[in-house]
Amino acid sequence: MSRFPATVLLLLLASRALPAQDVTLAVVLERLHHYLDGYANLLPVTVAVERYEQSFEVERVLLESEFGIVRVPDHPQWLGFRDVLKVNGKVVAGRERRLGALFEHPDASALEQARRIALESARFNLGRVARTINDPAIVLELLDPRNAHRMKFQKDREETLNNTPVWIVQFEETARPTIVRSSSLRDEPSRGRAWVDPSTGRLIRVQAKIDTLPSLRRISCEVDVTFQNAPPLDFWAPATMKERCFDGLSMQQGEATYDSYRKYMVETSESLGSTR
């Protein structure tokens, strides 16, 4: 499954309560979208250290990468780029701080360069399902306000997560073509659940499932992302990602952690991919 999960600068703004209203699903979604708008517009590019362990049957691999997150004004998608540095402890040849150079010196070719980095990095994935959706950015793209009209939302229930009262909101993609598509442009509809602080709209966890159409051999993938406050940035960012893909015969799965976040201070008016 191939699709650029234009994804992620996880930059959630500090918990800032919005004006008091009767808490309904519409209000919670409005607050979530407001939160994600701020997440995209007010924070600079970030890069994290990603440690990502995958398994498939008897195979195991540990990828150590720089993971970059940005949202490009001229290309309104969430973009996440994995630049693999080491595979099972061995340094990957032919790369030298590509993400850093990309973010420090953006130009008109930067977006295409970033896509090449992401595709090249995907070759290290284990399993029979080729994919680029194993990336925290995909959950931000699915929930972005631009895509709200594509989704059907409903409240599941309320619970407490890490001492925070949250709403669990279910979402299901109803529009076509879908946000995630295969390399042959086949639709891959998404559904899932989001754990949202109803008072601020802050996103705490998202579990997204992406399935092939029933008429084809069923492939089901799940990406589960948790967010935590990242002290160096002073906002909430992806902390973990778990993925599972089942192709009808076997399971491929992985778990990633994100830490050591740092910022690249670039001007958002001339940011990655700008053609002006």
Compare 57 and 42 and report the one with higher pLDDT. Answer: 57
Q: H or E stretch including 138?
A: helix 137-143
**Which burial class, exposed, middle or buried, applies to 108 when counting CB atoms under 10 A from its CB (0-12, 13-18, 19+)?**
exposed
Q: What share of the chain is helix, strand, coil (3-state, %, to 5)?
A: 20, 45, 40
For 147, the token pair is: 């895509």
Main-chain phi, psi angles of 227, to 5 degrees: -120, 140
CB atoms within 10 A of CB 263: 14
For 189, the token pair is: 């509809």
Q: Which CATH number fits domain 25-270: 1.10.10, 2.60.40, 2.50.20, 1.10.8?
A: 2.50.20
What was the pLDDT predicted at 101? 63
Q: Which amino acid is at 254?
A: G
For 257, the token pair is: 């952690």
pTM for the whole structure: 0.82
Do 61 and 88 touch, CB atoms closer than 8 A? Answer: yes
What was the pLDDT predicted at 268? 39
Could you report how far apart the first and last alpha carbons of the chain are, in Å?
33
Pairwise CA distance, residues 166 & 199, whole Å: 9
* Average pLDDT rounded to a whole number, residues 228-255: 90
- Asked whether the CA dihedral 256, 66, 48, 39 is positive or negative, the reply is negative
What was the pLDDT predicted at 106? 54
Pairwise CA distance, residues 215 & 165, whole Å: 40
User: Does position 15 have pLDDT exceeding 50, yes or no?
Assistant: no
